């Protein structure tokens, strides 16, 4: 076993941390959140410059060919800084889906541009009626002329307003809830019949809802090859789970650090509040949560990179379940240790709860993963 | 021992229930049911309707507009309001300030303020906490110096809920900085229109404006607005905080929110089946229900039984600790039930969509305001361990 980052991973993490330190302090982040775009284009370009947008792109297409373990320290930094950049939808989900599903010609067109940070994708998979149920895909795809036409609605599409293309899951056969019969398609964000209502999530993340009415889209791979599409969707969701687990760990680290600083500066009754045993014990509980979550984020990343069989799937479910629970508990405690100031929007600690709540609800919440674990047992 | 209402109490409950059903505007009911907090006009409208029956200030003397209700009737009334759900009478006016004036105020203060407090002609807010004085309230520094027949107030209050809606604030101010810190505090009524007062909004993590900072810069307050004696304001504050205990458990609120969670789980599907068909969710409902019932019976037992109160004078801390825990658990559950569909940030005015995720975030304040859960535990620990 080995739990160390390698030299490249460590160097990339340090560069990213430095860049975010310069560009993504809490006050700056507030201005990005309040801006029309909802993120910072300059930071996005710098991320491209650091090679982050190329991290998961295969080497033959100009990327680094990295995996979930390379993503881990990156997502931690982005979570710690409460990043609003469309890295998860484009550089993680869209890129992974394209790598797993698309034919070589499509990959040759898009992956180098993705690696360079010039192309942006969004992952349009979730549908409102599905909630946390996997494969609850009702969006239909039907052959039309030389291409395919999509009809349906997609909810909580992260970075929807920032994407040039959408990777859309749709059903070519079967009924909602069945893992078979789905395929992935690439739709141009300006395509006729594609309505995109953009909004922010409760943690300020830019997102949107797609309304697809006869949208002509290009299939990624052969729509008749259900097994390949299923593997691509599963692989993309697995990468997403590993990514948000790491993001939550980063958010936990920051919330933890803020709370510990506060314990050592705030005075009541003539002494530091950190001298109170009740609060010291709460801090210790937070540390336990943080360490367990850190471990499970690693387990999730390893499970994705060595994705073989039920053991890997189990670790992914366990990670999403346990990181979410520990992250929520830690965020609650961090607010409580701050008292009133922890409840204000002008102060960072409450934003970590907002982010953790959103991430906990993506790719299936804890209960949903507990159910899937129980089915595997 | 029995846990039944008497026939008179049942009659009272039916009377309240019929009154609420007949008079509560449907629009207010629906907004509260969806989880929105009452707007100022909701509370004003409804409190004036309640005031027709003396139920706006149910425990006050009749001569000041109250109904002189006993403890059990007060609890029944509050349960029925939560059950509707209807706004509760404005707490700063009715639960906090009114009884302080009745106990410590001059006849002139009582005659002027109490009817206006009951009818919400004046909206009061509470000026206790300061940036440096939260749990350690007695360390407060907002100062009032005597200048002939006025006090001149300088300083700052924080976490002032509804100050932006308020006409007046009742504030603890320091009139003497020598000796024990509790002994130099006075209780002042301050008209927020007085020159020198600035109110600055504080947005909370739910994105909404509930809280404020209130700044005082050479604010002239007539000395006749002093409640009780100068430098004895701590007695008023302790009396006020002790009076909060009737509603402190919020049993009715917990029950109504859990009831709503059940209703929601019956409507929402997850890829086919309804959420309420999930046995583990039903078990979670059952566990919460059992805890609510335990809190309810405990609430009745302490509030109605002098011997129980004598055995544990700090019982209000038991009620607050458990009530807060349940409120937070139920709000977290509602946030989970809102699920992915609840992740979109919506304006508080968007009444077509429930605010359950935002309410979950704001529910984290319940273990902070009105004495943090740590302070409540300290109070209990002192009572039992010494």
B307: contact with A, CB 8 A cutoff: no
Mean pLDDT of B309-329: 96
On whether residue B165 sits in a domain, the answer given is yes
On whether residue B65 sits in a domain, the answer given is yes
Chain B 325-344, CB below 8 Å of chain A: which residues? 328, 332, 335-336, 339-344
- How confident is residue A146, by pLDDT bands cut at 50, 70 and 90? confident
- How confident is residue B378, by pLDDT bands cut at 50, 70 and 90? very high
- Which pTM value belongs to this model? 0.96
Residues A15-62 pLDDT 10s: 999 999 999 999 999 999 999 999 999 999 999 999 999 999 999 999
- How confident is residue B153, by pLDDT bands cut at 50, 70 and 90? very high
Task: Tell me the C-alpha distance between B107 and B165, whole Å.
Answer: 27
Residues A170-195 pLDDT 10s: 999 999 889 999 999 999 999 999 99
Beta-carbon separation of B343 and A351 below 8 A:
no
Residues B70-85 pLDDT 10s: 999 999 999 999 999 9
Same domain membership, residue B253 and residue B353: yes
So what's the pLDDT on residue A134? Answer: 82
The residues spanned by each domain of chain A are 7-119, 122-226, 229-376
Which of B185, B202, B233 is at the close of a domain? Answer: B233
Beta-carbon separation of B377 and A278 below 8 A:
yes
Q: Is A173 exposed, middle or buried (0-12, 13-18, 19+ CB in 10 A)?
A: middle
How many separate domains does chain B show?
Answer: 3
So what's the pLDDT on residue A308? Answer: 74
Instruction: Kindly report the average pLDDT of chain A as a whole number.
Output: 96
Query: What is each CA distance from A241 to A56, A128, A349, B270, in whole angstroms?
Result: 15, 19, 23, 20
Residue B354 has pLDDT above 90, yes or no: no
| Nearest to A170, CA basis, from A145, A146, A190, A187 | A187
What CATH topology corresponds to A7-119?
A: Butyryl-Coa Dehydrogenase, subunit A; domain 1 (1.10.540)
Which of B30, B63, B89 is at the close of a domain? Answer: B89
Same domain membership, residue B307 and residue B227: no
CB B228 within 8 A of CB B240: no
Mean pLDDT of A199-213: 98
Same domain membership, residue B224 and residue B198: yes
Residue A246 has pLDDT above 90, yes or no: yes
Active site residue B244: yes
So what's the pLDDT on residue B349? Answer: 73
- How confident is residue B163, by pLDDT bands cut at 50, 70 and 90? very high
Same domain membership, residue B258 and residue B190: no
Mean pLDDT of A72-99: 98
So what's the pLDDT on residue B282? Answer: 97
A202: contact with B, CB 8 A cutoff: yes
CB B200 within 8 A of CB B212: yes
CB A251 within 8 A of CB A327: yes
Residues B174-204 pLDDT 10s: 999 999 999 999 999 999 999 999 999 999 9
Residues in B touching A130 (Cβ below 8 Å): 270-271
Could you identify the residue written with the tokens 């939560």? B82
Question: Chain-centre distance of CA B377, in angstroms?
Answer: 20
Query: What is each CA distance from A19 to A7, A99, B202, in whole angstroms?
Result: 18, 28, 31
Beta-carbon separation of B269 and A131 below 8 A:
yes
- How confident is residue B166, by pLDDT bands cut at 50, 70 and 90? very high
Task: Tell me the C-alpha distance between A345 and B239, whole Å.
Answer: 33
Beta-carbon separation of A268 and B135 below 8 A:
yes
Q: How many residue contacts between A and B have a Cβ separation below 8 Å?
A: 136
Q: Is A349 exposed, middle or buried (0-12, 13-18, 19+ CB in 10 A)?
A: buried
Neighbours of B293 (CB within 10 A): 12
On whether residue B105 sits in a domain, the answer given is no
Task: Tell me the C-alpha distance between B58 and B12, whole Å.
Answer: 13
Same domain membership, residue B265 and residue B221: no
ipTM of the complex: 0.96
So what's the pLDDT on residue B247? Answer: 86
- How confident is residue B347, by pLDDT bands cut at 50, 70 and 90? confident
Residues in B touching A135 (Cβ below 8 Å): 271
Query: What is each CA distance from A48 to A6, A70, A246, B226, in whole angstroms?
Result: 21, 16, 20, 65
CATH number at residue B336: 1.20.140.10
Distance between first and last Cα of chain A: 25
Residue A377 has pLDDT above 80, yes or no: no
Beta-carbon separation of A131 and B335 below 8 A:
no
Query: What is each CA distance from A254 to A250, A351, A355, in whole angstroms?
Result: 6, 11, 12
Chain A 358-377, CB below 8 Å of chain B: which residues? 358, 361-362, 365, 367
Neighbours of B1 (CB within 10 A): 3
Cross-strand bridge partners of residue B274: B269
Residues in A touching B269 (Cβ below 8 Å): 129, 131
On whether residue B238 sits in a domain, the answer given is no
Question: Chain-centre distance of CA A314, in angstroms?
Answer: 19
Token readout for B68 is 């002189």
Residues in A touching B207 (Cβ below 8 Å): 202, 345
Mean pLDDT of B252-261: 97
What residue in B sits closest to A131 (Cα-Cα)?
B270
Query: What is each CA distance from B21 to B26, B38, B40, in whole angstroms?
Result: 9, 18, 21
Beta-carbon separation of B344 and A130 below 8 A:
no
Residues in B touching A362 (Cβ below 8 Å): 340
| Helices H / strands E in chain A, number of each | 11, 9
Task: Tell me the C-alpha distance between B183 and B301, whole Å.
Answer: 35
So what's the pLDDT on residue A309? Answer: 84
Instruction: Kindly report the average pLDDT of chain B as a whole number.
Output: 96
Chain A 320-359, CB below 8 Å of chain B: which residues? 328, 332, 335-336, 339-340, 342-346, 350-351, 353-354, 357-358
So what's the pLDDT on residue B272? Answer: 86
What is the percent of chain A where pLDDT is above 70?
A: 100
Mean pLDDT of B116-120: 98
So what's the pLDDT on residue B348? Answer: 75
What CATH topology corresponds to A122-226?
A: Butyryl-CoA Dehydrogenase, subunit A; domain 2 (2.40.110)
Beta-carbon separation of A361 and B340 below 8 A:
yes
On whether residue B33 sits in a domain, the answer given is yes
Mean pLDDT of A63-85: 98
Residues spanned by the domain of B53:
7-89
On whether residue B189 sits in a domain, the answer given is yes
CATH number at residue B73: 1.10.540.10
Residue A256 has pLDDT above 90, yes or no: yes
Task: Tell me the C-alpha distance between B4 and A34, whole Å.
Answer: 56
Marked catalytic residue, from B213, B244, B284, B291: B244
What CATH topology corresponds to A229-376?
A: Butyryl-CoA Dehydrogenase, subunit A; domain 3 (1.20.140)
Which of B233, B257, B287 is at the close of a domain? Answer: B233
Same domain membership, residue B270 and residue B333: yes
CATH number at residue B203: 2.40.110.10
Same domain membership, residue B259 and residue B213: no
């Amino acid at each position: 076993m080995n739990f160390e980052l390698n030299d490249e991973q460590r160097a990339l993490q340090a560069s990213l941390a430095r860049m975010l330190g310069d560009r993504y302090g809490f006050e700056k982040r507030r201005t990005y959140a309040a801006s029309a775009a909802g993120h910072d284009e300059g930071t996005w370009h710098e991320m491209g410059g650091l090679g982050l947008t190329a991290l998961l792109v295969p080497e033959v297409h100009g990327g680094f060919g990295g995996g979930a373990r390379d993503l881990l320290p990156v997502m931690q930094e982005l979570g710690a800084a409460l990043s609003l950049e469309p890295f998860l939808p484009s550089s993680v989900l869209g890129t992974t889906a394209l790598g797993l599903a698309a034919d070589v010609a499509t990959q040759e067109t898009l992956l180098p541009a993705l690696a360079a940070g010039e192309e942006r994708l969004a992952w349009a998979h979730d549908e409102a009626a599905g909630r946390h149920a996997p494969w609850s895909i009702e969006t239909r795809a039907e052959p039309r002329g030389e291409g395919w036409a999509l009809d349906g609605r997609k909810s909580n599409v992260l970075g929807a307003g920032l994407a040039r293309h959408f990777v859309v899951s749709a059903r070519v056969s079967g009924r909602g809830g069945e893992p078979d019969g789905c395929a992935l398609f690439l739709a141009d964000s300006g395509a006729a019949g594609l309505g995109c209502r953009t909004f922010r999530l409760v943690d300020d993340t830019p997102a949107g809802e797609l309304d697809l009415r006869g949208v002509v889209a290009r299939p990624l791979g052969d729509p008749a090859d259900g097994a390949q599409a299923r593997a691509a969707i599963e692989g993309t969701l697995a990468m997403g789970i590993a990514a948000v687990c790491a993001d939550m760990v980063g958010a936990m680290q920051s919330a933890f650090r803020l709370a510990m600083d506060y314990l050592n500066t705030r005075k009541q009754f003539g002494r530091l509040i950190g001298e109170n045993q009740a609060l010291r014990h709460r801090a210790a509980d937070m540390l336990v949560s943080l360490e367990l979550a850190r471990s499970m984020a690693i387990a999730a990343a390893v499970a994705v990179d060595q994705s073989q069989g039920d053991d890997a799937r189990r670790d992914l479910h366990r990670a999403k379940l346990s990181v979410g629970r520990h992250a929520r508990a830690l965020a609650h405690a961090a607010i409580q240790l701050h008292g009133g100031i922890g409840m204000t929007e002008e102060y960072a600690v409450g934003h970590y709860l907002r982010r953790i709540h959103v991430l906990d609800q993506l790719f299936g919440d804890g209960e949903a993963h507990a159910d899937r674990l129980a089915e595997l047992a | 021992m029995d846990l039944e209402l008497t026939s008179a109490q049942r009659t009272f409950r039916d009377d309240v229930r019929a009154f609420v059903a007949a008079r509560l505007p449907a629009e207010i009911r629906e907004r509260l049911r969806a989880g929105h907090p009452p707007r100022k006009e909701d509370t004003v409208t409804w409190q004036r309707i309640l005031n027709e029956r003396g139920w706006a200030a149910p425990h006050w003397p009749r001569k000041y507009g109250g109904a002189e209700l006993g403890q059990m009737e007060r609890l029944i009334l509050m349960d029925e309001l939560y059950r509707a759900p209807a706004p509760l009478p404005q707490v700063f006016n009715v639960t906090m300030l009114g009884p302080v004036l009745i106990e410590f105020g001059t006849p002139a203060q009582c005659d002027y303020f109490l009817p206006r407090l009951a009818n919400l002609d004046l909206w009061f807010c509470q000026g206790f906490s300061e940036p440096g004085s939260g749990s350690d309230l007695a360390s407060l520094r907002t100062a009032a110096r005597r200048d002939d027949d006025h006090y001149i107030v300088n300083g700052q209050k924080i976490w002032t809920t509804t100050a932006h809606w308020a006409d007046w604030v009742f504030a603890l101010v320091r009139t003497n900085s020598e000796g024990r810190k509790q002994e130099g505090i006075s209780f002042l009524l301050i008209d927020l229109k007085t020159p020198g007062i600035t109110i600055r909004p504080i947005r909370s993590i739910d994105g909404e404006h509930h809280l404020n900072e209130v700044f005082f810069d050479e604010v002239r307050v007539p000395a006749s607005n002093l409640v009780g004696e100068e430098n004895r304001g701590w007695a008023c504050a302790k009396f006020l905080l002790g009076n909060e205990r009737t509603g402190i458990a919020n049993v009715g609120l917990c029950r109504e929110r859990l009831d709503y969670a059940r209703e929601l789980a019956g409507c929402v599907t997850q890829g086919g089946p309804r959420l309420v068909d999930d046995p583990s969710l039903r078990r979670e409902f059952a566990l919460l229900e059992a805890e609510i019932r335990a809190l309810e019976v405990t609430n009745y037992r302490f509030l109605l039984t002098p011997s129980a109160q004598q055995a544990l004078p700090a019982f209000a801390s038991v009620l607050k600790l458990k009530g807060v825990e349940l409120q937070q658990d139920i709000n977290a559950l509602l946030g989970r039930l809102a699920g992915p569909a609840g992740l979109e940030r919506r304006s508080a005015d968007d009444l077509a969509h429930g605010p359950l995720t935002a309410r979950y975030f704001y529910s984290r304040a319940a273990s902070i305001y009105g004495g943090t859960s740590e302070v409540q535990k300290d109070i209990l620990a002192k009572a039992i361990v010494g």
